[in-house]
Amino acid sequence: MKVNTEQVLSDSHLDAQSTTNQRQLSIAIAAVPEQVDQNLPLNLCLVLDRSGSMRGRPLENIKEAAINLLEKLTPRDRLSVVTFNHEPRVLIPNQFVTDIVKIKNKIKQLRADGGTAIDEGMKLGIKQLADGKQDTVSQIFLLTDGENEHGNNERCLKLALLASEYNITLNTLGFGNHWNQDVLEQISDSANGSLSYIEAPEQAVDQFGRLFTRMQSVGLINAYLNLELMPQVRLAELKPVAQVAPETIELPIKEEGGVFTVRLGDLIINTPRIVLANLYISKLPPGTHPIAKVQIRYDDPAHSQQNLLSEKMSVEVEVQEIYQANPVESVQKSILTLAKYRQTKIAETKLEQGDRLGAASMFESAANTALQLGDKSAATVLQVSATRLQSGEELSEAERKKTRIVSKTTLQ
């Protein structure tokens, strides 16, 4: 398994007369098999809300979804299940999947009662995964249907960062309409995971299955993007780097020795993570100039290898006396994808501040951006939100959550 990267500027031509040129650098990173490889061993922990509000059909659907995943695992894989209400407990300790019947019976015995303390469940889930982390794809599927009434949201975010440091990907699933989308999004973003919305109980199996298919497709883990900029180049000061595929995530960066580092997490086979960096390039003389170097650091669990480095790739510009624009459509699409997300976030902020008309205007802008992308489903959801606010109506919890999901990804 190796890493493939493709580096493309929004426009590789620069005007020699301009003192500063702004460009977006798109970097697509994927795992590529060099031969027919087996799937990597999986180390999966399900962290499931069993509070009283999950009683009845919701919990039955979640048990069905968990058993469905169990039946897809092999004896090479490990599974643990942590449940939480106001207190956490280990339903199934981390173990190889060798006795499916025994594990299935334990899942079937799950009952709902009590309140909700998400951070307690997260902490126990991270501990369970630690036992089987070596040379595996280690992920948490965290599901909840409510607010963290008996827990601490700040602690949730600290635990998500801890999971990321331990090379654990943390996916969040909001069930129903009463979970906190800000908290679950921040958890999944911090640990390079995915945010999912289970609007109706019967969608649980499909949503768990979608995440599991992605987990099975991981080829390399613990990946970092190293971006080295030439002296005439700088990153934008505000939110300079974001992921735009498979989900949109604002990415934190660290600088050390002139190299900017961004954590990517798991790399999926032949499905790139696309990262967009916003660059400012100072005036350069006519000719071809290198402006950046890109390298990926990663682990290959199939061969027990850590801290491998991809080939360092150079990014160049052509500075022209007579400037001729050379826009790249794929990068323009990434720019629009990020704009859709940021416009929606601004709309949500305005709505929280009581500026309903301002929020409606930004939702409408996001809907138009989605149309430019050809994402008709997102455009419909965003336009409905805009229209409701313009007519003086409130957005339902379901509409707010669906709006957040379509801002981050293409609606499934």
Alpha helices in 285-396 (DSSP H): 329-352, 356-373, 376-390
What percent of the chain is helix, strand and coil (3-state, nearest 5)?
35, 35, 30
Residue-level pLDDT at 35: 74
Residue-level pLDDT at 37: 65
Residue-level pLDDT at 350: 98
Question: Residue 197 corresponds to which amino acid?
Answer: Y
- Tokens found for residue 119: 């951070």
DSSP 11: B
Residue with tokens 């280990």, as numbered in its chain = 90
* Partners of 268 in beta bridges: 218, 271
Residue-level pLDDT at 352: 96
CA distance 93 to 359: 46
Query: Per DSSP, which regions of 203-361 are E strands?
Result: 218-229, 233-235, 241-245, 249-250, 254-256, 259-268, 273-282, 287-300, 305-309, 313-320
- Tokens found for residue 173: 């699933």
Cβ atoms within 10 A of the Cβ of 395, count?
19
H or E segment to which residue 126 belongs = helix 118-130
Mean pLDDT per 10-residue run, the chain (412 residues)? 96 97 98 82 98 95 97 97 96 97 96 96 97 94 94 96 96 96 97 96 96 96 98 96 97 93 96 97 98 98 95 98 97 98 98 97 98 96 97 95 93 53
Residue-level pLDDT at 273: 97
Instruction: Say if CB 403 and CB 360 are below 8 A apart.
Output: no
H or E segment to which residue 223 belongs = strand 218-229
